[in-house]
Amino acid sequence: MGFSTKNFKLPEQLDSCKAALREFVQTELDPLAIEMNRKRQWSEKLFPLMSEAGLLSLRLPKEYGGQGLTYSQYWPLLEEIAKSGGVCRGPAHGKNGMWEMIHDYGTEEQKKKYLSTWSGPSCPVFALTEPETGTGVDIKTTATKRGDYYILNGTKWLISAADIGEFFHVVCYTGDRSLGPKGISMILVDAKTPGMEIEDPGEFMGGRATAHHIVRFKDCKVPVKNLLGKEGQGLDIALKSFLDPSRLSIAISCLGPCQKMLELSVAFAKERITFGKPIAERQAVQMMLADMAVDIHALRTMIADCARRYDAGEKVATQISMCKLFGVETTRRVSDSALLIHGGIGTCSINMIEMLYRDVRELWFEEGTPTVQRTVIARDVLGKEIRSVGK
């Protein structure tokens, strides 16, 4: 394989690790991502490959076998991984974020069961979104306590990696709906628990080798000891220990593909000849490349600032939403320009632009739509109270 974070003394050698990771992405992850997208089929090679390279435990605390990187140390590495598109970015993003919920709220038994093997090729799943509700207090999934078990009923959808997941973080009501957020809890449900069914909703625009499945619970019997935290803490666990910092990871996941599309566009513009000269010499193309570079630089600067402040424990919920919002807007502008520069060949599946153009559209909706991010920002601007990330 030729690459592993174990070959580096992180974080002291972070720059050297990033350079080696870039080569690993180009030689190992890019070809696998393109193959999976073309075949529309998940490869069982991916998780072991990324696990062996140490990419699934970059932020995991050292006591559980991870690197224990801060966000400032982690984001440059996620940027490189994200250049391979959603199929590779997803596992790295999920595994380097979801551990926090169990670490912050789990019992010792839960930590021993799930975190002790976290750095391996296991696949955790986060299940919040539902087909007939938003992703907050209006969810309908319920868990009714009967003795030492919860009886889980409800439907989740757009659940990433549900078909290959080994256990699920399920957000549901354990209390009366009139309690609002205080009635919502989070329960850990192992895959293939009786009463749990996974359905394929059909092919999606991006990440064609993966899917976002429908998960149905019908009288699914789950031990009470699988409750994460306390009853009524579910929404706080989801938001504070995963969704909020995950929005920052989504911004980073926007940066990687945009940087890749700029690099591919520059190389193509220098090689593509029309009317006797490279299109890179044409002012219209130069203006597009310049605008792409400006957006990317601005996004990278925002991420670096936000990561630093997050690591310092500052309240940065608004800034995280700004990063996520600007990130998805950047993907729109950069991917459109990249496709225009490549022309018709950019729409062909043999070209990585085609895959990245589709994949970045998924990022618009993960961890909240642009409208949701604008709502968070507007509340802060207007002096209204918002949930805060940080101490």
pLDDT of residue 205: 84
Number of other residues whose CB lies within 10 A of the CB of residue 301:
10
Question: Would you list the domain boundaries of the chain?
Answer: 5-115, 124-233, 236-381
Is the full-model pTM beyond 0.85? yes
pLDDT of residue 203: 81
Per-residue pLDDT of the chain (391 residues; tens, 9 = 90+): 579 999 999 999 999 999 999 999 999 999 999 898 888 888 999 999 999 999 999 999 999 999 999 999 999 999 999 999 988 999 999 999 999 999 999 999 999 999 999 999 989 999 999 998 877 889 999 999 999 999 999 999 999 999 999 999 999 999 888 999 999 999 999 999 999 999 988 888 877 777 789 999 999 999 999 999 999 999 999 988 998 899 999 999 999 999 999 999 999 999 999 999 999 999 999 999 999 999 999 999 999 999 999 999 998 999 999 999 999 999 999 999 999 999 999 999 888 999 999 999 999 999 889 999 999 999 999 999 776 554 3
Interatomic CA distance for residues 212 and 165, integer angstroms: 11
35, 108, 367, 385: the catalytic one is 367
Q: Do domains 124-233 and 236-381 have the same CATH topology?
A: no
pLDDT of residue 68: 96
Do residues 154 and 140 make contact, with C-beta atoms less than 8 angstroms apart? yes
Interatomic CA distance for residues 208 and 357, integer angstroms: 12
CATH topology for 5-115 is: Butyryl-Coa Dehydrogenase, subunit A; domain 1 (1.10.540)
pLDDT of residue 391: 35
pLDDT of residue 1: 55
pLDDT of residue 390: 41
3-class DSSP state of 86: helix
Interatomic CA distance for residues 218 and 224, integer angstroms: 17
Q: Which of 253, 235, 225 is nearest to 364 (CA)?
A: 253
Alpha-helical runs (H) found in the chain: 14-24, 30-39, 46-52, 71-82, 86-105, 108-110, 234-238, 244-271, 283-311, 317-342, 352-362, 370-381
CATH code for the structural domain at 124-233: 2.40.110.10
Indicate the class that CATH gives domain 236-381. mainly alpha
367 is catalytic: yes
